[in-house]
């Protein structure tokens, strides 16, 4: 069984097997993009939380508890020293860290957040295109199978 498509006045024949293979390839690509997107969205939320916490953290010395893990399983006592905002350490990636002040740290984190936004938007755009093609192929396959079933019942 084959489906015909018009491409700039030329007819192109695509077999049912090729359509099924392309649909499977698209489905797998969409799954990979979904997993990648979820990872980047998780990083985005963590980075946004770090920025919000830095902005709202009181600059006076204080003490309290800090969480050791993301599930808040354990907290340990901690003291925030005087002038803490002038000696922050920011992870730059690839094992590099920068000792800086609060303003510079917020600037670095905000730029990283902007980069993540662009990456997330790019991934969402690619996913949207793949999903549109996948949906189109699914419609074609559905029509082919309906036609085939109608022919079998006649």
pLDDT tens digits for 45-71? 999 999 999 999 888 888 989 889 888
Residue 24, pLDDT > 50, answer yes
Residue 3: the pLDDT is 47
Predicted model pTM: 0.78
The answer, yes or no, to whether residue 111 has pLDDT greater than 50, is yes
pLDDT value of position 2: 47
Q: What pLDDT is attached to residue 11?
A: 81
Q: What is the pLDDT of residue 9?
A: 67
Taking each helix axis from N to C end, the angle separating 102-153 and 16-56, rounded to the nearest 10 degrees, works out to 160
Instruction: Return the CATH fold of 2-138.
Output: Helix Hairpins (1.10.287)
pLDDT recorded at residue 14:
84
- The residues spanned by each domain of the chain are 2-138
Largest CA-CA distance found in the chain, in angstroms, rounded: 86
The dihedral through the CA atoms of 45, 46, 48, 49 has a sign that is: positive
Percent of the chain's residues with pLDDT above 70: 94
């Amino acid at each position: 069984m084959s489906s015909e498509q018009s491409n700039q006045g030329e007819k192109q024949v695509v077999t049912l097997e090729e359509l099924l293979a392309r649909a499977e390839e698209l489905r797998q690509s969409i799954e990979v993009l979904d997993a990648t997107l979820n990872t980047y969205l998780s990083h985005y939320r963590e980075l946004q939380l770090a920025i919000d916490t830095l902005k709202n953290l009181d600059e006076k010395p204080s003490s309290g508890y800090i969480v050791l893990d993301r599930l808040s399983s354990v907290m340990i006592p901690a003291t925030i020293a005087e002038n803490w905002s002038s000696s922050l350490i920011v992870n730059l990636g690839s094992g590099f860290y920068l000792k800086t002040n609060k303003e510079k740290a917020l600037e670095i984190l905000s730029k990283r957040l902007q980069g993540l936004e662009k990456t997330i938007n790019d991934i969402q755009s690619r996913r949207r295109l793949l999903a549109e093609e996948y949906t189109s192929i699914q419609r074609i396959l559905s029509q082919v199978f309906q036609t085939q079933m109608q022919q079998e019942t006649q």
